[in-house]
Amino acid sequence: MHIPDGYLDPISAGVTWAIMLIYGFFAYRKAALGKNLEVVVGLAAAIFIAQMFNWPIPGGTSLHLVGGALAAIMLGPFEAFFVLLLVLLAQTLVFHDGGITTLGANVINMGVVAPLVGWAAWRLLSRYNKPLAAAVAGWASITVAGMAAGFEIGVSPYFPYAWTISVPVMTTWHALLGIVEGVITAAVVEYLLRRAPQYVRV
Amino acid sequence: MKKLYIFLALMALVSPVFGVWLANLIGYHEPLDVAADMINEVANETLHKVILQDVSDQMNWTPLKDYTVPGLPDWLGYIISAYIGLAIFIALWLVARRVKKTR
């Protein structure tokens, strides 16, 4: 889901960077970072390593955990923003996984949209069935984040009609990939609820 | 928390099996690249142009691009990259711990 350099025009890149910074300021004020900083960094390290595990999918692609829903279920959506921000900063600045011009869009998709959607799904469904709620949260987080990525690369002053092409393609594709995110999220949340419930704080 | 970092360090050793070996086995493409190819295909038919072009190679700033280390085989570069990333997070964790103690 890491959008590389060249997929966004300068205006879209600037707008997404601005949204990332504004949301980041808002999240900083909402999150209890002082209390959770060690867990935020630890979870960022775990997601960084988890994202290096590419699971092959028949047809020539592969996928890895994004972890937005998982982080939101564990810490809440605002702390999750900082978890994913740390992961994406390390990936972009050190390993050029995702572009610098598209960092704002990547943070919005994986650090804002995915945690918020995952958190909302978890809050809505966890009272009925926790593993199922975590699975839906993981799946929905990737599907909507993929939709957001499709919208970002489609909406551009240079290519005004492209979003009608990019949104359906990206949404459909990520809805399929999201199944695995859902399964992994459910497995980790179920494990934590049994072995270390103090880490499922939402 | 120390146990977590030890576990992650062990996981990093296994990561090339998934990130390099299996990826090469299936001809790995980032899902977004596959979607971009589909978008370009449709855009080429409807708008008569290719609209998504990855320019990462033209504006690269790191020798560790895509978790590789120049001069080393991909699997070893992948492990070293994982440890570099892990070292960054451990350094941040140590800072976070110190900040918490001083409060």
Q: Taking CB atoms and an 8 Å limit, are A52 and B88 in contact across chains? A: no
What is the pLDDT, as a whole number, of residue A79? 97
Residue A17, number of CB atoms within 10 A of its CB:
19
Task: Note which residues in 7-36 of chain A have CB less than 8 A from chain B.
Answer: 7, 34
Q: Taking CB atoms and an 8 Å limit, are A52 and B25 in contact across chains? A: no
- Cα–Cα distances in Å, from A138 out to A84, A146, B79? 15, 12, 27
Query: Which residues on B lie below 8 Å from A93 (Cβ)?
Result: 62
Task: Note which residues in 115-144 of chain A have CB less than 8 A from chain B.
Answer: none
The neighbouring-strand residues paired with A57 are A61
For residues A16 and A8, is the Cβ–Cβ distance under 8 A? yes
A96 lies within 8 A of chain B by CB: yes
What is the pLDDT, as a whole number, of residue A157? 62
Whole-angstrom Cα distance, residue B56 to residue B53? 9
A156 band by pLDDT with thresholds 50, 70 and 90? low
Query: Which residues on A lie below 8 Å from B13 (Cβ)?
Result: none
Give chain A's domains with CATH numbers: 10-199 (1.10.1760.20)
Task: With CA atoms as reference, report the closest residue to B12 among B70, B69, B93, B83.
Answer: B83
Whole-angstrom Cα distance, residue B19 to residue A57? 13
Residue of B25, B66, B90 with shortest CB distance to A96 = B66
What is the pLDDT, as a whole number, of residue A177? 82
**A28-32, A162-166, B36-40, B80-84: range with highest mean pLDDT:** B80-84
Query: Which residues on B lie below 8 Å from A3 (Cβ)?
Result: 32
Query: Which residues on B lie below 8 Å from A161 (Cβ)?
Result: 46-47
Q: Taking CB atoms and an 8 Å limit, are A153 and B56 in contact across chains? A: no
User: To the nearest whole angstrom, how far is the Cα of B71 from the nearest Cα of chain A?
Assistant: 16
Phi, psi of A55 (to 5 degrees): -90, 120
Closest residue of A to B15, CA-based? A53
- For tokens 């996981």, the residue is B11
Helix, coil or strand: residue B47: coil
What is the pLDDT, as a whole number, of residue A32? 87
Q: What is the DSSP-derived secondary structure letter of residue A197?
A: G
Q: What are the respective helix, strand and coil percentages of chain B, to the nearest 5?
A: 75, 0, 25
- For tokens 């704080």, the residue is A201
Q: Mean pLDDT over residues B45-62, rounded?
A: 80
Whole-angstrom Cα distance, residue A61 to residue A114? 21
When the pLDDT of each residue in chain B is averaged and rounded to a whole number, the result is 86
Task: Pick B73 or B54 by higher pLDDT.
Answer: B73
**A75-84, A193-202, B29-38: range with highest mean pLDDT:** A75-84
Domain hosting B49: range is 1-102
How does pLDDT run across A30-64, given as a tens digit for each residue? Answer: 998 888 899 999 999 999 999 999 877 766 667 78
Task: Tally the domains of chain B.
Answer: 1
b/e code B48-78 from CB counts within 10 Å (16+ = b):
eeebbebebeeeeeeebbbbbbeeeebeebb
Q: Taking CB atoms and an 8 Å limit, are B8 and A46 in contact across chains? A: yes
Plot region of A59 (φ>0 → left; ψ -120 to 50 → alpha; else → beta): left
**pLDDT exceeding 70 applies to what percent of chain A?**
94
